[in-house]
Amino acid sequence: MKAFIVDRYRKKGPVRFGEMPEPALGQDDVLVEIHAAGLNLLDSKIRDGEFKLILPYRPPFIPGHDVAGIVVRVGAGVQRFKPGDEIYARPRDGRIGAFAERIAINEADMALKPKNLSMAEAASIPLVGLTAWQALVEQAGLRKGQKILIHAGSGGVGTFAIQLAKHLGATVATTTSTANVELVRSLGADVVIDYKNQDFEKVLSGYDVVLNSLDGDTLRKSLEVLKPGGKLISISGPPDLAFAREQGLNWLLRQLTRLLSFGIRRKARRHCVGYSFLFMRANGEQLGEITSLIEAGAIHPVIDRAFPFEATAEALAFIETGRAKGKVVVKLR
């Protein structure tokens, strides 16, 4: 089958268009004909080798974490899906490969595609949707009347998280550039901080939750806007010991994560707030909850542009510029 392939870890290295074997189908797996795939900065970071200590993919491998398509065949143990079903998924770590014509996915990682979305729109959702869900619903327990700051509101996670937070009844502040102020307002942001003209830590205070996806300086400044008992959740690091335990990392890597997060954890304690790192995981059940919200009209996808499958390398280069509004996808069919 045709696929884009990482032949070796290399910073800004190429993804090669070539042939790869058909994916093997386990008894709990579903073989999917891919119609569209979403792109994420995570794909670039894995290609660059940034995660090879905790996600040791062995080249050559196919990257890609977001997929939408049609079920072609199911394993003997599959109960929830049948050939012809339209699905979307974020395949679990160790089994990625959305930049290809077909993929085998464990049925627990999948959900039926929202009926009101195209394949391209559906492919833009899984990773960012699950990230926002696990941050706001699982870790933060965000509820009506609370206040949340969502950094980078015009990005993939930000555009989804703003809508989810509003659905949960929270007051939402976000940071963005001047060019994207109207976009984030249209998604429901109540307070918009133009980071080119304002310092968010001087404007905001008394917040219950901050969702950070930016650099360490932004992470530290975010402590200033939280009230005592608040929660600082970061999807851009540094990883903490809880993450290391969940990933089953060895003793040396656990100590490394402890050291990496020591500074921000100490500062968080001084501010009487909690710090946690989120590395989202595949979850078909949660994706099904997201499907319900999308079909009810509570959340809609935001796509900057769609590339043809043959231009996947160019699409990856585009998201690396950091200028995409929402998500970028490639279409196979």
Instruction: Report pLDDT digits (tens) over 164-185.
Output: 999 999 999 999 999 999 999 9
Homologous superfamily of the 2-125+301-331 domain (CATH): Medium-chain alcohol dehydrogenases, catalytic domain (3.90.180.10)
Instruction: Report pLDDT digits (tens) over 57-73.
Output: 999 999 999 999 999 99
Give the integer Cα–Cα distance in Å for 309 and 45: 20
Q: Where in the chain is the domain with CATH 3.90.180.10?
A: 2-125+301-331
CATH 3.40.50.720 holds for 127-277: yes
Residue 53's pLDDT is what?
Answer: 87
The percentage of residues in the chain with a pLDDT greater than 90, rounded to a whole number, is: 94
**Is 273 buried (19+), middle (13-18) or exposed (0-12) by CB count in 10 A?**
buried
Distance, C-alpha 325 to centroid of its chain: 14
Q: Where in the chain is the domain with CATH 3.40.50.720?
A: 127-277
Mean pLDDT over each residue of the chain, to the nearest integer: 97
Instruction: Report pLDDT digits (tens) over 191-211.
Output: 999 999 999 999 999 999 999
Calculate mean pLDDT across residues 292-311.
98
Give the integer Cα–Cα distance in Å for 319 and 135: 23
End-to-end Cα spacing for the chain: 14
